[in-house]
Amino acid sequence: MKKLFLFFSALILAFIISTPAQSSSLKKNMIEGVKFLDTIAEVEWYKVEGKSLIIGWKGIPKFFPHTNRKAAMRANIATRREIHVWAVRHTQRNWHVGSGKSYICFVSAINGRVKQGNCKR
């Protein structure tokens, strides 16, 4: 009985330690995948929240839908997880998923392809 308790204790401890590390590497990989956003003048900022990438846009450029789709696909490939990209105005820095506040559009990608979204081409 004591061995069983020690086994489960070790298992729970290993899970607790690995979870923050996994979320940290998910964030790091996602940011590495979307570094191309740094070269786009209209992108004021971007941040990672869970499995979502939130992009703060200052103006809507001609290539806006393409860039959101590209960010979703690259973040998906970098993390190997389903990713949601949310486009918001640059003034909405405190915006977060599920807040009920307005956003410009969203795109989801899985397996290196866009799954759904409402960013018009």
Looking at residue 62, what is its pLDDT? Answer: 87
In a domain, 6, yes or no: no
- For residue 36, tell me if it sits in a domain: yes
Residue 1 counted as domain residue: no
> Given this model, what pLDDT does residue 25 score?
86
* Domain-located, residue 12: no
pLDDT in tens, 108-118: 999 999 999 99
Residue 81 within any structural domain of the chain = yes
Higher pLDDT, 5 or 90: 90
**For residue 14, what pLDDT is reported?**
53
In the predicted model, is pLDDT for residue 18 greater than 90? no
Residue 21 to residue 19: CA distance in whole angstroms:
5
The answer to the question of residue 76 being in a domain is yes
CB 114 within 8 A of CB 82: no
Residue 62, class by beta-carbon neighbours within 10 Å (0-12 exposed, 13-18 middle, 19+ buried)? exposed
| Helix axes of 64-79 and 2-33: crossing angle, nearest 10 degrees | 150
Question: Model's pTM, two decimal places?
Answer: 0.79
Identify the pLDDT of residue 61.
87
Structural domain harbouring 63: 26-117
Does residue 105 lie within any of the structural domains? yes
Q: Is residue 41 part of a domain?
A: yes
* Domains in the chain, number: 1
Over residues 23-71, the pLDDT tens digits come to 578 899 999 999 999 999 999 999 999 999 999 999 888 899 999 999 9
